[in-house]
């Protein structure tokens, strides 16, 4: 109730006044409790976002820190060696409780029936058949951190936790003296070089042979379609294929011979590892990615391991169904797709905004179009994905295939998801962002400037080109960069139009025509989804997902920040030229 | 322009004309911009059009692509059945004399096919499987002979095609035994017929005719088991099984026949048809009047009469009867033109020995005259029925729609047999005068109508009509269940719960930011909240599903307690704050107070965490998940908890006038601390009263049988709506927050100033001046936030469990439209029904968000106009 209403209804008020009490505002009208609720809402919002970022970044940044290996001896004598992964409270079952010592039973009872347990990352999947093991605190007899334990990252089967028994160089067994020993390090470096050489041969020479052979086959098929199987041209093409095949076969044989030779050498350089229980495993040296004595690392070594892991993450290809290794193809795919999208979205967005603001007659129709464009920004991204698949990939791509690539059918070339279609789909999704931003920027250019330019005899285009657009540029750039940020973080539509779990080839490579817009690609956002939800063991992939998440958020934030900086810079640049 | 010529006058005058390049550039720009601009706008509207175009065929039913009549290719006996091969090349019919007539459908050219040699026996019964490949003949002497008709297409090399072919059409040619169709330059399809007749098996006593029979093949290829059921002229039904064993050593095959009698058939019954299901676990004996004797034959040696039911009441006789694919649904057509689908349903109340009752599930459109023939599809629930007036109707059982009504151009043929082509793309009818009528049809999406997509549909084996989404399964006979309602429900549920969480926080935060914090704080706080909007939703989904979901599962009681304790705690802190002397309250009313709010949140959050076990014991019988299942505890405490906020609001509003008049008056005279104490006491009193009321209401509600369990709470699964609500909050809160904060901020400053100058407190100014003025802006913010929640995909894909359930249970998952598209579209075959259904789902989303956003935009524009007027 307002104070005024009170004075009307309450004659007593006057007497209170007359006794000269200080007239205070009614405490209830300050709404203090409600105010605190509103403040609480804001505080919750801030806690949510900061907590979220803290969670993601702490996990993501800490992932690559080498952790100690702890050997847990259970009260039943079982020995578990592994990296402590995470701990949580849980409710032990009645049977578990019954088997415990009275002391533990009392402790758990004090904790309302909860006990703590720790998840250990065991490694050695090929021996144990499990990656992780929960060890409840009450089942532990003792913890140890032996210095001789080594954490080995392998190219296959995930990490190995144990000791190095021995290693052989060129068939000769060597005594293992330590990870830092020159012989060991050299053997490792040689093996990595060999692996790289094998990969180069397979990807480069053998890949080229396969590619050329495929091209020749397609040529023949093309002739067959155009001229028929009985034509002379077909016969000639087939002869040509046979001729070329001989040469290609020779090159292929040569390359495979080299690979075989390297593999033979590789097989003679091995490493024998032993897990904590003594079971041994021999792996080729080239399968060793990284090894370190987890419990015997100096700070410098830790930092070294940490950064070498980051380097691997940013520059390498994924291993182990994407749960290990790097994400370079995903970074590349995300960047390529986003740039391609900008190439499409920028001109069209700006053209539309120019049309709406500078050319179209401002009336009901344009107002309606403007509302629609605004609304399109709110249409769910998945709808664009559906459209992209149905129209771009199936209708447009299908027609392109039928017209230009009939020799490859029924295998689709453009008739399925790919980089181009993804970029186009995302352009549709983000074009409203650019249109709205550009329009606002155009509207902010004073009318007087246009009129001045036109009065000086400049044509409409000259006015736009030299007067309006430069002044609107900060807004336009902001719009484009915001569109990039939106595009880079979007996943749902891409799942339909071309993103894949693992793309064997990058969209840009050394084969003609060098840029392959029809190829499917990897994407950071989809990588998160895939590793987190579709891998063999979600737990094993979790660290990787966190790091990828940090990378994606950093990327999106970076793009957004760029937008802000660009805007302020350009604003400054043009500030002086305002009338 | 000042163009002065030099004194020498030699320099030419500069042209006044605009240079051509400028004009050309201007024109080019003009056209590029116009075309580009209009193009983008057109493209954007093209999206909607394209989605609609893909969706339309779902509702167009079927169409006739062509029809023709073949004159008298069939002569001789009465046709028993007619089958068409997969490519609609050949029609094969078998007549009651054992003759097999095969002819090329397009031209009527006959092929040479050997006849079945029945010897001198008279055919008295005939049975066929759905695809017509396996048939059985029963004879007057009580024997049964099994036979096969294989109409097969095999692709062979063109080089292997015999040379002397007679050309039939451009594509087809024949050598008199098979039809050859060129499929590509070097490949040819050969469609031919292969028939075989088995040995006679004496089933009924010698000399007693078999009047009806049916059989099914079973067992492994090397040990075939043939189950068959026969009824003889004496009305004795027999269930027989013949097993063939091949001795591995000698290679001799021995066949053994075991029989048992079907009990309970009445004396003198005229059996029209017997039917046997696929696994030989059910036998239906149908008499001419439509009475069905259903036998449970799972125990083969002792078949039991499970049910006797008259499917055609009155003196209507059976016109045609057939299983649909899967052999669970039985279509019965009567002499009155009625066509109904029945299937077995488990019924707790029945006295039938196997607990099942044959139930009429679908009543189809009635023919104008008696139904004379029927054929069911081999791939779906489609079938054709022919009536006495010569009409053939194409129907779909589940959707209950009549897709096509076919009628010959002239005459009223009476049909002996009709056939639906295996690919559901043709209908063939054999008339009694030997003429054959053929139609080419296309019915790509017979199972979808507006009613099946948005209404309740009774699927085979389901106890009642319902809304179901289940698009794929392992078995061939599986019928996709495509109702969008569970998905729309999922979307609505996710949106509702996430807005329930997001709106209070977003609006509270917006009002606080706009009205109660210093601009400097606002400059930091607002971008921080907006940062939330730029988080990719895949990240939110991942955190929600893999990090948040297990935490929520472990600490569910603490979270519930937090919903109670944190608001209460904030109120409590506020009342404590009121106890502070005005001097201190004024001095620290800015940032320190905001910091105290954080402290208060931390304190009460910790309290909720610590108090969770006690809370769980008192309210949820010690285990929240077990309680939610309904296995422990009482519903009263929880109902009281839900009722409490409402009770408190009621008490507060109800007492507001009285308290303000009396208490407010007293308070005004007192100093701040003492007034604070009185106010605090008033609050505690209201809490107690509200608590009492809520408890009373809870007892009353639970007493009346209204229980939140089974409603808003129920079985707990890890990826549930609560988690989705939290995660979606991250996506929705910043949107609602930013837009509504902007709306609050654009309320003209003079309104604020005037209100404060009149003596209103900031709180009064905010609630009675600013918020009402900005209301339409706030509404539009909520609408835009809702639009985002409706279309959000990755969060629901990852965190919602994707189970298409229709319950409000906050502890269970959901399957939203968007998630469903993301999960299923990549596996849907282009232009299949599922593909088009997913496009319909996308179109639905498009329309929902477009409407919501347009509404928001219109409201916003109104708001702008209004603020401009102020």
- Per-residue pLDDT of A120-160, as tens digits, reads 888 888 888 888 888 888 888 888 888 888 898 888 888 88
Residue A40 lies in a domain: no
CB–CB of A378 and B849 under 8 A?
A: yes
Residues A497 and A356 in one domain: yes
Question: Which of B310, B340, B366 is the endpoint of a domain?
Answer: B310
8 Å CB contact between B539 and A553: yes
Burial of B187 (0-12, 13-18, 19+ CB in 10 A): middle
CA-wise closest residue to B449 among B408, B401, B382: B401
A2 vs B: CB within 8 A: yes
Radius of gyration for the alpha carbons in chain B, expressed in angstroms and rounded: 39
**Residue A409 has which token pair?**
């059918």
CA-wise closest residue to B514 among A27, A37, A32, A38: A38
Residue A255 lies in a domain: yes
Instruction: Tell me how far CA of residue A246 lies from CA of A123, A209, A234, A525, B382, in angstroms.
Output: 47, 11, 19, 45, 56
Inter-axis angle of helices A32-62 and B485-515, to 10 degrees? 110
Question: Which of A154, A170, A196 is the endpoint of a domain?
Answer: A154
Contacts of B784 in chain A (CB under 8 A): 378
8 Å CB contact between B319 and B333: yes
> CA-CA-CA-CA torsion for A59, A62, A68, A71, nearest 10 degrees?
10
Across the range A543-562, mean pLDDT stands at: 88
Per residue, the 3-state secondary structure of A290-343, as one string, reads EEECCCCCCHHHHHHHHHHHHHHHHHCCEECCCCEECCHHHHHHHHHHHHHHHH
CB–CB of B505 and A45 under 8 A?
A: yes
Other Cβ atoms within 10 Å of A448 Cβ, number: 9
- The model's pLDDT over A93-126, given as tens digits with 9 standing for 90+, comes to 888 888 888 888 888 888 877 888 898 888 888 8
β-strand partners of B295: B283, B305
8 Å CB contact between B109 and B445: no
- The model's pLDDT over B277-306, given as tens digits with 9 standing for 90+, comes to 888 888 999 988 888 999 988 888 888 888
Residue B807 lies in a domain: yes
Q: What residue spans of B670-705 are helical by DSSP H?
A: 672-703
Phi, psi of B172 (to 5 degrees): -100, 145
Q: Which residues contact B20 (CB under 8 A, 6 or more apart)?
A: none
The C-alpha atoms of residue A56 and residue B544 are separated, in whole angstroms, by: 12
What was the pLDDT predicted at A3?
39
Domain that holds residue B233: 203-310
Residue A61 lies in a domain: no
Residue B2 lies in a domain: no
CB–CB of B818 and A382 under 8 A?
A: yes
* Residues of chain B falling short of pLDDT 70: 1-15, 44, 219-222, 248, 474-477, 659-670
Residue B335 lies in a domain: no
Residue A567 lies in a domain: yes
Q: What angle do CA B500, B503, B504 make, to 5 degrees?
A: 90
Question: Which of A154, A180, A212 is the endpoint of a domain?
Answer: A154
- The model's pLDDT over A350-399, given as tens digits with 9 standing for 90+, comes to 988 888 888 888 777 788 778 878 778 888 999 999 999 999 989 998 88
Residues A225 and A350 in one domain: no
Residues A84 and A186 in one domain: no
Question: What are the start-end ranges of the E strands in B457-607?
Answer: 469-470, 481-482
Question: Which of A154, A175, A205 is the endpoint of a domain?
Answer: A154
- Which of A11, A30, A39 best probes binding to B when mutated, by most B CB atoms within 10 angstroms? A39
The tally of domains found in chain A comes to: 3
**Gap between the terminal Cα atoms of chain B:** 49
DSSP notation for B76-139: SS-EEEEEE-TTS-EEEEEETTS-EEEEETTT--EE--PPP--TTPPEEEEEE-TTSSEEEEEE
B731 vs A: CB within 8 A: no
8 Å CB contact between B859 and B867: no
B56 vs A: CB within 8 A: no
B662 versus A176: the higher-pLDDT residue is A176
8 Å CB contact between B397 and B331: yes
Residues A77 and A166 in one domain: no
Residue B805 lies in a domain: yes
CB–CB of B842 and A387 under 8 A?
A: yes
Other Cβ atoms within 10 Å of B688 Cβ, number: 11
- Could you say which residues from 354 to 413 on chain A have a Cβ atom under 8 Å away from some Cβ of chain B? 354-356, 358-360, 369, 371-376, 378-387, 389-391, 394
8 Å CB contact between B213 and B231: yes
Please name the member of B26, B51, B853 whose beta carbon is closest to the beta carbon of A459: B26
What was the pLDDT predicted at A7?
38
Residues A221 and A144 in one domain: no
Is residue B31 classed as helix, strand or coil in its secondary structure? helix
A225 vs B: CB within 8 A: no
Residues A447 and A515 in one domain: yes
Residue B577 lies in a domain: yes
B506 vs A: CB within 8 A: yes
What was the pLDDT predicted at B234?
84
Q: How many residues does chain B have?
A: 870
B573 vs A: CB within 8 A: yes
The C-alpha atoms of residue B211 and residue B272 are separated, in whole angstroms, by: 8
- Could you say which residues from 588 to 627 on chain B have a Cβ atom under 8 Å away from some Cβ of chain A? 593-594, 597-598, 600-601, 613
Question: Which of B310, B338, B356 is the endpoint of a domain?
Answer: B310
DSSP notation for A267-294: HHSEEEEE-TTS-EEEEEGGGEEEEE-T
Q: Edge-to-edge strand order for the sheet containing B329-334?
A: B318-323, B329-334, B339-346, B356-363
Residues A174 and A261 in one domain: yes
- The model's pLDDT over A239-290, given as tens digits with 9 standing for 90+, comes to 888 888 888 888 888 888 888 888 888 888 888 888 888 888 888 888 888 8
Q: How many residues does chain A have?
A: 579
What was the pLDDT predicted at B504?
94
Residue B263 lies in a domain: yes
Please name the member of B186, B509, B729 whose beta carbon is closest to the beta carbon of A42: B509
Residue B717 lies in a domain: yes
β-strand partners of B356: B346
Residue A55 lies in a domain: no
What was the pLDDT predicted at B5?
46
Other Cβ atoms within 10 Å of B27 Cβ, number: 13
**Residue A339 has which token pair?**
């740039």
Question: Which of B283, B310, B337 is the endpoint of a domain?
Answer: B310
Residue A17 lies in a domain: no
Element (H, E) at B195: strand B187-202
- The model's pLDDT over B162-186, given as tens digits with 9 standing for 90+, comes to 877 888 888 888 888 888 888 877 7
Instruction: Tell me how far CA of residue B808 lies from CA of B167, B320, B625, in angstroms.
Output: 66, 45, 16
A540 vs B: CB within 8 A: no
Residues A304 and A402 in one domain: no
Q: What angle do CA B443, B449, B450 make, to 5 degrees?
A: 155
B735 vs A: CB within 8 A: no
Residues A136 and A255 in one domain: no
Contacts of B541 in chain A (CB under 8 A): 529
CB–CB of B545 and A533 under 8 A?
A: yes
What was the pLDDT predicted at A307?
93
Is residue B636 classed as helix, strand or coil in its secondary structure? helix
Long-range contacts of B469-475 (CB under 8 A, 24+ apart): B469/B804, B469/B815, B469/B820, B470/B804, B471/B824, B471/B834, B471/B837, B472/B827, B472/B834
Across the range A31-35, mean pLDDT stands at: 86
Question: If you count residue pairs, one on A and one on B, with CB atoms under 8 Å apart, how many are there?
Answer: 355
The residue of chain A with its CA nearest to that of B527 is: A46
- Could you say which residues from 414 to 433 on chain A have a Cβ atom under 8 Å away from some Cβ of chain B? 428, 431
Residues A133 and A172 in one domain: no
Residue B764 lies in a domain: yes
Residue A19 lies in a domain: no
The tally of domains found in chain B comes to: 2
**CATH code where residue B736 lies:** 1.10.3720.10
Domain that holds residue A188: 160-312
- Which of B1, B21, B25, B37 best probes binding to A when mutated, by most A CB atoms within 10 angstroms? B37
Element (H, E) at B309: strand B304-310
Instruction: Tell me how far CA of residue A425 lies from CA of A337, A448, A495, B62, in angstroms.
Output: 11, 39, 11, 33
Residues A414 and A554 in one domain: yes
What was the pLDDT predicted at B584?
85
**ipTM over 0.90 threshold:** no
Residues A294 and A355 in one domain: no
Phi, psi of B818 (to 5 degrees): -65, -45
β-strand partners of B351: none
């Amino acid at each position: 109730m307002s104070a005024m209403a009170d004075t009307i209804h309450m004659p007593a008020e006057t007497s209170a006044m007359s006794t000269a009490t200080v007239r205070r505002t009614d405490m209830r009208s300050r709404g203090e409790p409600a105010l605190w609720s509103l403040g609480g809402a804001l505080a919750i919002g801030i806690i949510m976002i900061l907590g979220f970022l803290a969670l993601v970044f702490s996990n993501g940044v800490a992932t690559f820190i080498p952790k100690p290996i702890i050997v847990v001896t259970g009260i039943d004598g079982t020995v578990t060696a592994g990296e402590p992964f995470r701990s949580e409270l849980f409710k032990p079952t009645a049977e578990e409780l019954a088997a415990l010592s009275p002391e533990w039973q009392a402790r758990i009872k004090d904790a309302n029936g909860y006990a703590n347990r720790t998840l250990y990352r065991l490694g050695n999947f090929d021996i144990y058949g499990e990656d992780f093991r929960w060890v409840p605190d009450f089942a532990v007899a003792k913890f140890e951190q032996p210095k001789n334990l080594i954490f080995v990252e392998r190219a296959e089967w995930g990490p190995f936790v144990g000791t190095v028994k021995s290693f052989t160089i060129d068939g000769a067994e060597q005594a293992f003296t330590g990870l830092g020993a020159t012989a060991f390090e050299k053997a490792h470096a040689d093996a990595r070089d060999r692996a790289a050489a094998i990969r180069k041969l397979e990807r480069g020479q053998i890949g080229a042979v396969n590619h050329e052979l495929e091209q020749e086959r397609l040529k023949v098929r093309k002739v067959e379609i155009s001229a028929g199987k009985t034509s002379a041209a077909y016969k000639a093409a087939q002869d040509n294929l046979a001729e070329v095949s001989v040469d290609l076969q020779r090159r292929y044989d040569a390359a495979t011979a080299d690979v075989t030779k390297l593999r033979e050498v590789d097989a003679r350089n091995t490493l024998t590892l032993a897990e904590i229980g003594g079971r041994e495993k021999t792996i080729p040296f080239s399968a060793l990615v990284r090894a370190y004595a987890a419990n015997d690392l100096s700070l410098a070594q830790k930092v070294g391991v940490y950064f070498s892991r980051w380097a691997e993450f940013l520059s390498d290809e994924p291993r182990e169904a994407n749960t290990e290794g790097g994400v370079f193809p995903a970074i590349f795919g995300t960047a390529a797709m986003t740039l391609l999208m900008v190439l499409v979205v920028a001109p069209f967005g700006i053209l539309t905004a120019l049309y709406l603001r500078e050319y179209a007659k401002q009336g009901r129709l344009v107002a309606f179009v403007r509302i629609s464009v605004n609304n399109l920004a709110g249409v769910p991204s998945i709808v664009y994905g559906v459209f992209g698949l149905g129209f771009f990939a199936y209708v447009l791509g299908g027609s392109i295939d039928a017209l230009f690539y009939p020799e490859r059918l029924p295998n689709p070339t453009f008739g399925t998801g790919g980089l181009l279609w993804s970029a186009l789909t995302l352009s549709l999704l983000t074009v409203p962002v650019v249109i709205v931003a550009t329009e606002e920027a155009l509207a902010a250019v004073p009318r007087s400037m246009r009129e001045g330019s036109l009065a000086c005899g400049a044509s409409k285009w000259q006015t736009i080109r030299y007067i309006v657009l430069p002044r609107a540029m900060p807004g336009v750039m902001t719009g484009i960069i915001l569109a990039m940020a939106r595009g880079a973080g979007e996943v749902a539509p891409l799942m339909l139009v071309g993103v894949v779990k693992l793309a064997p080839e990058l969209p840009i490579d050394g084969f003609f025509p060098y840029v392959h817009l029809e190829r499917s690609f990897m994407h950071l956002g989809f990588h998160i989804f895939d590793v987190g939800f579709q891998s063999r063991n979600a737990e094993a992939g979790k660290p990787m997902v966190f790091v990828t998440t940090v990378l994606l958020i950093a990327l999106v934030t970076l793009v957004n920040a760029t937008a802000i900086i660009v805007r302020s810079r350009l604003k400054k640049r043009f500030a002086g030229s305002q009338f | 322009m000042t163009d002065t010529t030099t004194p020498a006058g030699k320099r030419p005058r500069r042209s006044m004309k605009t240079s051509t390049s400028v004009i050309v550039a201007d024109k080019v720009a003009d056209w590029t911009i116009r075309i580009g601009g209009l193009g983008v706008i057109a493209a954007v509207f093209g999206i909607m059009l394209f989605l609609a175009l893909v969706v339309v065929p779902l509702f167009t039913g079927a169409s006739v692509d062509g029809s023709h009549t073949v004159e008298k290719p069939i002569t001789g006996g009465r046709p028993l059945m007619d089958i068409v091969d997969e490519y609609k090349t050949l029609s094969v019919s078998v007549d009651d004399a054992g003759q097999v007539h095969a002819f090329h459908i397009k031209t009527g050219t006959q092929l040479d096919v050997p006849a079945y040699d029945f010897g001198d026996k008279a055919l008295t019964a005939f049975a066929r499987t759905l695809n017509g490949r396996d048939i059985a003949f029963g004879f007057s002497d009580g024997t049964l002979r099994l036979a096969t008709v294989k109409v097969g297409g095999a692709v062979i090399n063109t080089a292997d095609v015999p040379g002397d072919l007679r050309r039939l059409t451009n594509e087809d040619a024949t050598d008199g035994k098979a039809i050859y169709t060129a499929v590509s330059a070097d490949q040819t399809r050969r469609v031919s017929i292969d028939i075989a007749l088995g040995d006679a098996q004496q089933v009924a006593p010698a000399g007693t005719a078999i009047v009806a029979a049916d059989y099914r093949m079973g067992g492994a290829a090397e040990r075939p088991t043939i189950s068959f059921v026969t009824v003889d002229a004496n009305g004795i039904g027999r269930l027989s099984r013949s097993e063939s064993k091949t001795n591995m050593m000698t290679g001799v095959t021995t066949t053994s026949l075991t029989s048992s009698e079907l009990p309970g058939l009445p004396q003198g019954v005229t059996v029209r048809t017997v039917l046997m299901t696929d696994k030989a676990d059910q036998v239906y004996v149908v008499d001419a009047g439509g009475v069905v004797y259903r036998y449970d034959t799972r125990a083969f040696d002792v078949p039991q009469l499970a049910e006797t039911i008259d499917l055609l009441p009155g003196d209507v006789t059976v016109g045609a009867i057939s299983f649909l694919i899967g052999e669970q649904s039985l279509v019965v057509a009567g002499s009155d033109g009625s066509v109904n689908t029945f299937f077995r349903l488990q019924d707790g109340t029945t006295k039938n020995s196997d607990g099942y009752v044959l139930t009429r599930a679908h009543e189809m459109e009635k023919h104008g005259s008696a139904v004379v023939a029927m054929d069911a599809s081999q791939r779906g629930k489609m079938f054709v029925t022919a009536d006495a007036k010569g009409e053939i109707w194409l129907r779909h059982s589940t959707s209950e729609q009549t897709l096509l009504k076919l009628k010959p151009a002239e005459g009223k043929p009476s049909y002996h047999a009709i056939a639906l082509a295996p690919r559901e793309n043709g209908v063939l009818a054999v008339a009694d005068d030997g003429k054959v009528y053929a139609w080419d049809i296309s019915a790509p999406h017979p199972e979808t109508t507006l009613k099946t997509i948005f209404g309740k549909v009774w699927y085979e084996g389901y106890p009642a009509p319902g809304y179901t989404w289940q698009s794929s399964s392992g078995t061939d006979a599986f019928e996709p269940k495509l109702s969008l309602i569970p998905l729309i429900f999922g979307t609505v549920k996710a949106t509702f719960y996430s807005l329930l969480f997001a709106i209070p926080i977003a609006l509270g935060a917006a009002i606080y930011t706009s009205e109660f914090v210093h601009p400097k704080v606002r400059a930091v706080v607002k971008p921080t909240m907006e940062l939330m909007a730029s988080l990719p939703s895949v990240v939110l989904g991942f955190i929600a599903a893999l990090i948040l979901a297990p935490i929520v599962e472990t600490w569910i009681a603490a979270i519930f307690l937090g919903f109670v304790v944190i608001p209460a705690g904030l109120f409590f802190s506020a009342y404590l704050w009121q106890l502070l002397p005005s001097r201190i309250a004024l001095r620290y009313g800015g940032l320190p107070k905001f910091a105290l709010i954080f402290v208060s949140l931390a304190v009460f959050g910790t309290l909720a965490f610590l108090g969770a076990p006690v809370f769980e014991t008192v309210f949820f019988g010690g285990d929240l998940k077990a309680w939610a299942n309904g296995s422990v505890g009482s519903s009263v405490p929880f109902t009281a908890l839900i009722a409490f906020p409402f009770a408190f609001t009621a008490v507060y509003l109800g007492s507001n006038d009285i308290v303000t008049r009396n208490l407010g008056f007293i308070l005004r005279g007192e100093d701040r601390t003492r007034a604070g104490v009185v106010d605090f006491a008033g609050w505690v009193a209201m809490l107690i009263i509200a608590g009492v009321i809520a408890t009373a209401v809870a007892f009353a509600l639970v007493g009346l049988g209204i229980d939140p369990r089974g409603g808003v709470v129920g079985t707990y699964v890890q990826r549930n709506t609560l988690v989705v609500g939290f995660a979606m909050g991250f996506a929705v809160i910043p949107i609602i927050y930013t837009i509504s904060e902007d709306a609050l901020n654009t309320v003209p400053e003079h309104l604020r100033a005037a209100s404060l100058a009149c003596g209103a407190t900031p709180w009064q100014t905010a609630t009675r001046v600013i918020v009402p003025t900005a209301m339409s802006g706030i509404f539009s913010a909520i609408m835009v936030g809702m639009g985002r929640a409706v279309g959000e995909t990755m969060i629901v894909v990852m965190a919602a469990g994707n189970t298409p359930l229709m319950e409000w249970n906050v502890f269970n998952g959901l399957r939203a439209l968007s998630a469903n598209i993301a999960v299923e579209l990549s596996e849907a075959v282009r232009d299949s029904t599922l593909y088009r259904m997913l496009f319909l789902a996308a179109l639905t989303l498009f329309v929902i968000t477009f409407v919501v956003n347009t509404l928001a935009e219109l409201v916003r524009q109104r708001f702008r106009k209004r603020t401009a007027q102020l």
